Structure formats: structure tokens, C-alpha cells
Amino acid sequence: MSVKFVSKNSNLMIVLKPGVPGSTITGQQPTPGIYVRFQGGVVDVKEESIINMLRGHKGMGSDFIEIKQSEVDPYEHTRQDIEPIHNITEMEYGHIGKKISSKGKTILSPELKKLIENEAVKMLPDILKKNPKILKDILQGLAEEVKKDDEENSKKTDKVADEKEKK
């Protein structure tokens, strides 16, 4: 049985039992600790002792929560990415070249996504009435893609048949 815990933070690490480093002077052996790291804001725990420790942790309910395996992550749309936005400047022969920036993750709530989809559906009939050529172009493009996929699939099956005949 595994239990799923999710966090608001992408890279949360919880110390359930701190480790103690060893000492060669006193002869004390190191004691390992128990740590839980949320990768991408989610952790699946299978050990019953660790599950009980997490349920009793003071951050339960504020820093992280327990959800069922079938439930959707409630923080998925608001959680920030671990990787920061990178600004890279290319250098050519000691001179500054063009600047490249990585795109940040756009966070949209489910309500906002639904609102955008509804507005797009409302706008579609007006756009098609004003310019019916758009629909024709879309259908032609889809037909060409289907034709290419069919050709690629037939080539693959021909190759497989040829290899079987050679054997």
C-alpha cells in the first residue's frame, strides 16, 4: 500500500529524524536520519512507519497534504517550477552575441482555461463566417497529415515483410 503526499513547493524536503555525524575522536558511530524529498511536489511513500511519521509531522496540512491515489493534485496549477528562467548570452570571438532566454512556465487555473476555451468556441463561428477559407485550409492540412501517416505506416509494414522474406 502506498500513500501519496503533495506539497505546495516543488522541492520540499522534510526531516523526520535528523542524522548524527560520526566522530573519530570519540569513536561515535554515525546515525542515519530519515528524510523525505518531494520531487516535483509529489512523493509516494510505501513504508508504514514513514507514513505515520508524515501524518504526525507539524507541517502536515500546511506545508503538505495527503491525497488518495485517484485524486488530482490540488497544487498542480499553482506550484512554481524548480528550474529558474535562464538568461544566456552567446559569445563569439570575445564579443557579445545574441541573448537567449528560456520561457517561464505559464500557470493557468482550470477556471481560466475553461473560460478561454468557451470564448474560443464562441468566436469560432464568426471567424468561419468571415473567412471560410480557414476551415478549408485546416481540413486540407489534416488530410495531408493523414496521407503522410498512411504512407509511413505502409513503408514500415513493407520493410517488416521484406525482412521476414529474407529470413
Domain boundary assignment for the chain: 3-22+29-67, 110-166
The pLDDT-based confidence of 136 (bands split at 50, 70, 90) is confident
pLDDT for the residue 47:
93
Greatest distance between any 2 Cα atoms in the chain: 85
CB within 8 A of 53, min separation 6: which ones? 16, 17, 34
β-strand partners of 64: 7, 60
C-alpha 78 chain-centroid distance: 13
Name the one residue in this structure whose C-alpha cell is 506550484. Answer: 79
pLDDT for the residue 4:
93
Report how far residue 147's alpha carbon sits from residue 141's, in angstroms, rounded to the nearest whole number: 10
pLDDT for the residue 84:
78
Range with top average pLDDT, 80-84, 129-133, 155-159: 129-133
The amino acid present at 101, given as its one-letter code, is: S
Average pLDDT over residues 78-84: 78
pLDDT for the residue 167:
63
Instruction: Provide the 8-state DSSP code for 47.
Output: -
pLDDT for the residue 98:
86
pLDDT, tens only, 102-130 = 777 777 777 888 898 889 888 888 877 78
Report how far residue 125's alpha carbon sits from residue 132's, in angstroms, rounded to the nearest whole number: 10
pLDDT, tens only, 20-59 = 999 888 888 999 999 999 998 899 999 999 999 999 999 9
pLDDT for the residue 106:
74
